[in-house]
Structure 1
Amino acid sequence: MSTVLHPDLRLGEVKLKVSDLARSIRFYEEVVGLKLLAREGNTASLGVDGSAPLLVVEEIRDAVVLPRRSASGLYHFAILVPTRRALGLALRNLIASGIHIGQADHLVSEALYIADPDNNGIEIYRDRPRNEWPREANGQVKMASDPIDWDGLLKEAEGSEWEGLAPGTVIGHVHFHVGDLAAAKAYYCDTVGFEIATDGWRQMGALFIAAGGYHHHIGLNLWAGQGAPPAPANAVGLAYFTVVLSGQEELARVAARLREAGTPVEAHGGAMFATDSSGITMRLVTA
């Protein structure tokens, strides 16, 4: 039986642990452009069009903000906007906010990078059409970190008002610091069923994996150091990321493979949860 995931896979909501809920809500509304969908107690959900949330934030007691690249866990989560115009509008709003903005043209996409008040990394990006993605000789996706066309993106936004992130915005990928790249590859590829999208960055301590030929649903890196420990439970950062599988049969198969590999799988509220050796929790649901 094949262990390769069905190509219809997509990512769902990301849940973050934060130190100040009200501050986080303001940031994700005003700077990022999400809209508050619901707030209850110490938790809030945010999205773009009143449907399923893209982000859940939970304020935790005695929260600790770790120095960057000091533990395994979240490097960034990536918000995929539907058009270049939408990315240009997001860029213009980020500039107006005064936040520090990183940027890169990855050949397959154009990306902006920021961090929230708890140093959780965020990418906002748009994809180029798949038929424009360059390929290596072995067929893998070719990516780079070239400068973006900053002026061209801003020109796309001319004459349009900022109204938050555009309808059709989704979680495109997630990127993690891990303590052992080989162990992470064994877990996410050999057990869960993702495929290597490109290993051309292995010499830089990174691996990109995906389902259905995407340039990457998950990035894995050693940039916090080989053997980087999981973050403590009271640290801000990732609570979980969500993988949306094609159906109940595939969910059952993935859960069975995880259990056979010795990873505990717990069921809560119609979802399955599993945590890797770097302390990163994956939430598995069906479409």
Structure 2
Amino acid sequence: MEVKEKTGRAQASIKPSGSYVGNPGPDAGIKPRAKSDRPIDAGVDIGHVHLRAADLEKIRAFYVGILGFDVMVELPGALFLAAGGYHHTLGFNTWESNGGTPPPPGTTGLYHVAIRYPTRAALGDALRRLRDAAWPIDGFNDHGTHEAIYLRDSEENGLELCWDRPPEEWARDAEGHLTFANRRLDLAGLLRAGLDEEGG
């Protein structure tokens, strides 16, 4: 499978429910490049992403059938998905987009959604699921702070499946600012970790 490497981009993190351990907070010693004059609570994060869809059955086949999310709520023209019993981390509806097409290149909007896995083994399992389904992969990267798999869903929405290293392992410069790496991901090790998750 031929892949292309991608560099680091900012992302919204969507986490399988029950796995979140909180933002590192000030005790981690990570200094922002620019700090707000009125910072919000350090526990604020992204609760869910809700996307317009063209075909909910294709959405279900990918997110439920391949990635393994549960359907938490189903309404006419809408699906709400999560892991671990949360109300939803991903929502999809066809209320204004049934049969629609993805936005053309050169337009603004969502670059990708990051789905964060609680362990490296869980991310390895996700990679095995994609491999078993022969799902196309756009790229892989080890950013130092996290390991990432890049792909697109059935409707060309950009996705990043990722696992965060512990904050104390995140690379920083001499002033304590985060730095991103652009290293080749150890795919063989990641797949082995996925096997370990199943006890195989």
Give TM class, smaller chain.
0.7 to 0.9
Q: SS where residue 48 of structure 2 aligns?
A: strand
Mapped partners of 2:37, 2:173: distance in 1: 25
Does residue 139 of the first structure (1) align with residue 176 of the second (2)? yes
Report the CA distance shift for 1:159/1:127 in structure 2 as closer, same or farther (over 3 A). Answer: closer
User: What is the alpha-carbon distance in structure 2 between the residues aligned to residue 160 and residue 138 of structure 1?
Assistant: 38
Identity %: 33
Q: What SS class does the counterpart of residue 45 from structure 1 fall into?
A: strand
Count of residue pairs brought into register by the alignment: 161
**Deviations along 1:192-244, whole A, 9 cap, x unmatched?**
xxxxxxxxxxxxxxxxxxxxxxxxxxxxxxxxxxxxxxxxxxxxxxxxxxxxx
Structure 1: tracts of 5 or more residues without a match: 163-287
Aligned to 1:42: 77
- Residues 35 and 5 of structure 1: is their aligned pair in 2 closer, same or farther, counting only changes over 3 Å? same
Q: Is the 8 A contact 2:53 2:92 kept in 1?
A: yes
2:47 aligned with 1:12, yes or no?
A: yes
Find the residue that maps to 1:25 and give its secondary structure.
helix
SS in 1 for 2:110: strand
**Letter of the aligned partner of 1:137 in structure 2?**
A
Within the candidate set 71, 85, 93, 2:107 is matched to 71
Offset of residue 53 of structure 1:
0.4
Q: Deviations over 1:159-193 (max 9, x none)?
A: 5449xxxxxxxxxxxxxxxxxxxxxxxxxxxxxxx
SS in 2 for 1:75: coil
One-letter amino acid matched to 1:23: K
Paired with 2:88 and 2:117, the residues of 1 have a C-alpha distance of: 15
Residues 62 and 87 of structure 1: CA distance in aligned 2, closer, same or farther (over 3 Å): closer
TM superposition shift of 1:138: 3.3
Contact 2:53 2:98 in 1 (8 A): no
Q: Secondary structure at the match of 2:124?
A: helix
> 2:58 is matched by which residue type in structure 1?
R
Distance 2:170 2:76 in 1: 44
Partner-residue secondary structure (3-state), 2:92 = strand
SS state at 1:157 partner: helix
Q: Whole-Å Cα distance in 2 between the matches of residues 3 and 98 of structure 1?
A: 47
What's the TM-score once normalised by structure 2's chain length? 0.75
1:51 Cα shift?
1.9
Q: 1 CA distance for matches of 2:162 and 2:196?
A: 21
1:71 Cα shift? Answer: 0.8
Q: 1:57 aligns with which of 89, 92, 104?
A: 92
User: Residue deviations 1:224-282, cap 9 Å, x none?
Assistant: xxxxxxxxxxxxxxxxxxxxxxxxxxxxxxxxxxxxxxxxxxxxxxxxxxxxxxxxxxx
Distance 2:142 2:196 in 1: 24
Higher-strand-fraction structure = 1
